[in-house]
Structure 1
Amino acid sequence: MNASSLSAAQAPATTTAPASQGSTLYGGVTNRRVTVRDLAAAKQRGERWAMLTAYDALTAGVFDEAGIPVLLVGDSAGNCHLGYETTVPVTMDQMTMLSAAVVRGTERALVVADLPFGSYQESPAQALRNAARLMKEAGVGAVKLEGGERSARTIELLVEAGVPVMAHVGLTPQSVHALGGYPVQGRGDEASHKLQRDAKAVQQAGAFAVVLEAVPAELAAHVTESLTIPTVGIGAGVGCDAQVLVWTDMAGMTAGRVPKFVKQYANLRGVLGDAAREFAAEVRDGAFPAAEHSFT
């Protein structure tokens, strides 16, 4: 699939969204889930949108009620919820279970699920088999996979089979061991040209959006202007079409240092810790349960 056929397949016929779609992603669509066509229309009218990770029905429901239009069931669950040091150990069984929970907990958001490490690198056929599992068993609306030019053929096959694909270039966390950590990507002429080739390759292959992670802001803005599909920035500056954060980072649940690109909008770790300490103290002192918490 080439770029022109991608635009025809994913973009509406006019630059103004139909009335049934609503004028914005935030509150404009209330009777159905957000789709990849809505995101394409937002790109055309210059509307920015937010994406958050989610790993369970409860928090996914909160974000859905808050109007977040896209939720990513990221393999970042490995770091945030499963106790792994990296995303590499996360399995398809785990991603399927977590994704199904997020779908059950939401009504409006487009739910995108990561294909974990080892679930798509072997061959495009392997990728299709596992993407189909996430769509059939978990009910997600799209999948995400890492890699630019190296993943283009896989993206092509998935899109041809009817699987919407969000690509991911720049810093690819599943390659942490090959990269030797989490360095910024795209610095210098050679690296910049490679990142631009990667972004163009995934668009050409049919991806409906591409995540740009840990990329210099000026380069990310240039890539965004050069593409017809939305870019989703994480550590890539304000020039992207959308922004994503890991929700535990965003809400202040993550212990210790967080990446430079994270803004913490709350201190839920402190709130939860205070609540747990107060509960423990009241149990110890005999203040809980009180009469109003007991049956007669």
Structure 2
Amino acid sequence: MTETPKRVRVHHLREAKEAGRRLTMLTAYDAVTARIFDEAGVDMLLVGDSIGNTMHGHTTTLPVTVDDMIPAARAVAGAARRAFVVVDLPFGSYESGPQQALETAVRVMKTTGADAVKFEGGKRSAAQIRAVTAAGIPVVGHLGYTPQSENLLGGPRVQGRGDTAAEALSEDALAVAEAGAVAVVLEMVPAPVSARITEIVAIPTIGIGAGAECDGQVLVWVDMAGMGDWSPRFAKRFGEVGAALRAAATAYVDEVRDGTFPDAEHSFLQ
């Protein structure tokens, strides 16, 4: 793309890939952060089921429900003015087949104002992708380490290592693209494997712990902004917002307790 679109649409994603312009994606779960990221120029906002880990205190994404996702997605979509808003379909809301996936996707789109849905799986999810796409709903795929399958995968482990696994992952990516997905997230995949997948699929690849050759990158925003004491190895901390917020809260507590807040400037005197 030679110009930044006023509103990112499906065709802009493929145009970006063709032009070699890297796409940017961050998670968002509320209107406040969504507006900030949108104004910063982030191309895609992902209302991820990572809300379970980051906002709800769960240890995995598995407890997250569609009812959890809808208010968050509505808030993000309502705040975004430019970004392409993608909503995760949580565990248990699409696995039983195309009809369940379609019903969940329709519900999410009708109640949130989002632009697309995302769900995990390659060949096993191809029929679901076709059904949802046929209904006019854009789908983003998700391959590699898929958090909803972490019990089967043995935890957060790199996927696609070795020739056999790399070939299977490539086949899954082709299946997702051929089924009609508009993009695919590659999570915790060796960089050479991601580079090969990026080369062979026509849709954009969005990497997270998948090397620099993907067509775009995504991070969970609390990792990107340094909100906690720990973040994954692949997640660069671009700021220390958590420390700054803690310092502000501490200063507030101190001033209230010692009586210096509120002062005359922050009071109505008449």
- State the alpha-carbon separation in 2 of the partners of residues 134 and 37 from structure 1: 21
The answer as to 2:2 corresponding to 1:29 is no
1:85 aligns with 2:63: no
CA–CA distance in 2 between the matches of 1:293 and 1:152? 59
Structure 2 residue 246 is the aligned partner of structure 1 residue 273: yes
2:236 match: 263
Task: After TM superposition, give the deviation of residue 256 of structure 1 in Å.
Answer: 3.0
Q: How much does 1:200 deviate?
A: 0.5
Post-superposition CA distance 1:57-87 (Å, at most 9, x none):
0100001111111100000011011111010
Match of 2:83 in 1: 109
Distance in 2 separating the partners of 1:108 and 1:44: 21
Q: How many residues of Structure 1 are paired with residues of Structure 2 in the alignment?
A: 269
Distance 1:208 1:133 in 2: 20
Report if the CA contact (8 A) 2:26-2:44 is conserved: yes
Report the AA paired with residue 258 of structure 1: S
After superposition, residues 180-219 of structure 1 pair within 5 angstroms as 180-219=154-193
Separation in 2, partners of 1:208, 1:104:
22
Q: How does 1:142-157 map to 2 (within 5 A)?
A: 142-157=116-131
Give per-residue Cα distances to partners, 1:42-71, cap 9 Å, x unaligned.
111111111000000010000111111110
The structural deviation recorded for 1:211 is 0.5
Residue 57 of structure 1 pairs with residue 8 of structure 2 = no
Equivalent residues in 2 for 1:124-273, closer than 5 Å: 124-253=98-227, 255-273=228-246
Match of 1:123 among 94, 97, 109: 97
Q: 2:97, 2:127 within 8 Å by CA — same for their partners in 1?
A: no
Q: Equivalent pairs: percent with the same residue?
A: 55
Report deviation, 1:148: 0.3
Determine if the alignment matches structure 1 residue 290 to structure 2 residue 263: yes
1:264-284: per-residue Cα shift (whole Å, max 9, x none)? 000011000000111101111
Give the deviation of 1:193 after TM superposition: 1.0
Q: What secondary structure sits across from 2:249 in the alignment?
A: helix
Question: Any gaps of 5 or more consecutive residues in structure 1?
Answer: 1-16, 18-22
d(CA) in 2 for partners of 1:176, 1:186: 15
2 CA distance for matches of 1:158 and 1:106? 23
TM score, norm. by length of structure 2: 0.98
Distance in 2, matches of 1:140 and 1:94, equals 15
Q: Give the deviation of 1:257 after TM superposition.
A: 2.4
Equivalent residue letter for 1:261: F
Counterpart position of 1:14? none
In the alignment, the residues of structure 2 paired with residue 97 and residue 115 of structure 1 have an alpha-carbon distance, to the nearest angstrom, of 13
Deviation at 1:260? 1.0
Query: Could you list the runs of 4 or more consecutive aligned residues of structure 1 that deviate by over 6 angstroms after TM superposition?
Result: none
1:42 correspondence with 2:2: no
Amino acid at match of 2:101: A
1:96 deviates by 0.6
Unpaired runs of at least 5, structure 2: none
Deviation per CA, 1:223-262, whole angstroms, max 9, x where unpaired? 1011111000000000000000000000001x23211101
